[in-house]
Amino acid sequence: MKASLTAALAAAALAVAACGAPTPSAAPGTLVVAGYGGSYEEAFKQSVIPAFEKSCSCRVSYIAGSSTDTTAKLKAQKESPQIDVALIDDGVQNQAVEAGLLAPLDPKTVTNLSQVIDLARLPGDVGVGFSLNATGIAYNSDYYAQNGLPAPKRLADLADPRLRGKLVMPSITQTYGLGALLIAAKVGGGSEHKIDPGFAGVRKIAANAVTFDTTADVSNFFLQGQAVASIWGNSRVQTLAKKGFPVEFVYPEEGALPLIATVNVVKGAPHAELAQKFVNTLLEPSAQQALAASAFNGPVVKGVELDPELATAVVGQDRAAELRKLDWAAINKNRPAWTDRWNKEIETS
């Protein structure tokens, strides 16, 4: 894709500036980055890592895994870290902070930090959001049109009895299921601090569920016709739509929830200074453009310009102003109890 290639070339140029000229006498090291698989991994390996390796005379080893997998590795390696940089979802990132696994960013090295929008800044600058997404509604537009179903506008629309056996509900064990619970709570006058309305709302929707997905990727359910709707993330929807599948993303009227991918320097990282430089490179406008073009991730840096068509596909900063920051400390404190309740009231009902 032309936009992706242009952004990648720009990323290469700006990454050199971000790291400075390589030191000939420095022994090459290997920066270990643990992060997401799928489209994220592809985007990093194609548009970010090669330029960074060239500019910093280093190698980057990328270990793919979910946020919970990466955090589990950090906990296991706490006394002797082997990972330098961790890419993890904002909710899990809060758990990693509480466990003392992450180090503050150095504003003298991460100079782009001051240009990051407020939604993506984290307490004490222990890590930072580097891409913006949203949890909302995904639906098969062809199926809806052919069966006379109006496009969904609200979460409650997924309770339509005509969708029975055609809805994939994400499990609470992953981010989108938790998002559904929190959106439903808000609709009922609750929040992460008052969750009962959330369970009442999700219970109505879950009656239509054909399955409760734990992978966070329901592409196959859509492609095989097993599902025509789900609660899902915008970038995942756009990636599927790019392949020609008739799927659309809806920002529900009650409000979509932010899903922020964070980049973090591991506490005690073997290559801490290099890790700080890597964080700064991800916040370069060129890298932000490359990630948007490659994987439909909304930029978090102010003033990043995107091609008009791409700008309408990602979660833009105009949308960011409408998304609310979540109290992840409160959510994580209550999540084990919510998970137990979900298993008893939702998935077995």
Mean pLDDT of 271-294: 95
Are residues 7 and 314 in contact, defined by beta-carbon separation less than 8 angstroms?
no
Judge if 2-132+260-320 and 133-257+326-341 fold alike in CATH terms: yes
| CA–CA gap between residue 226 and residue 163 (Å, rounded) | 11
Residue 170 token pair: 């994400």
pLDDT attached to residue 33: 97
Domain ranges for the chain: 2-132+260-320, 133-257+326-341
Tell me how crowded residue 301 is: count the other CB atoms within 10 A of its CB.
21
pLDDT attached to residue 277: 97
Calculate Rg over the CA atoms of the chain: 20
Q: What's the full length of the chain, in residues? A: 349
Q: In sequence order, what are the residues at sequence separation of 6 or more whose Cβ sits closer than 8 angstroms to the Cβ of residue 280? A: 18, 109, 110, 111, 112, 113
pTM of the model: 0.83
pLDDT attached to residue 24: 33
pLDDT attached to residue 4: 41
Element (H, E) at 18: helix 2-19
| CA–CA gap between residue 170 and residue 209 (Å, rounded) | 9
- Residue type for 128, please? V
CATH code for the part of the protein at 2-132+260-320: 3.40.190.10
pLDDT attached to residue 27: 40
Residue 256 token pair: 């979509």
Tens digit of pLDDT for each residue in 170-209?
999 888 999 999 999 999 999 999 999 999 999 999 999 9
Residue with tokens 């490659």: 294
Angle, CA of 299, 309 and 282, to the nearest 5° = 20
Greater confidence, 287 or 2? Answer: 287
Choosing among 3.40.1260.10, 3.40.190.10, 3.90.1150.10, 3.30.379.10, the CATH entry for 133-257+326-341 is 3.40.190.10
Residue with tokens 């599948």: 245
Mean pLDDT of 236-259: 94
Task: Assign 105 to helix, strand or coil.
Answer: coil
Residue with tokens 């992978």: 215
Angle, CA of 224, 225 and 228, to the nearest 5° = 135
pLDDT at 335 over 90: yes
